[in-house]
Amino acid sequence: MAQSLDELLTNITLYWFTNTAATSARLYYEAQHNEGMLAPGSGGTPTGFALFAKEIVTPPEELVRRSYT
């Protein structure tokens, strides 16, 4: 889905004026430079998991069950 120039500039302006560009980019940076939160054996503490429809990353339920208790 392509954005119009107005939508693109609106998004950039919102990030610029609220000083949140670095915060929003952190998720993408960490995903590329990290094994991730769902690495096998990464959860020893009982953990809850919620899956929301519009999340950027949605792990398969099988992976979550295997990685966390």
| pLDDT tens, residue by residue, 5-16 | 999 999 899 999
HSE, side-chain direction, 13 A CA sphere, residue 26: 4
Closest CA to 58 of 67, 66, 49: 49
**Predicted structure pTM score:** 0.39
Mean pLDDT, range 35-52, rounded to an integer? 68
Cβ atoms of 47 and 68 within 8 Å: the answer is yes
| pLDDT tens, residue by residue, 44-59 | 677 788 888 888 778 8
Whose structure tokens read 């960490």?
30
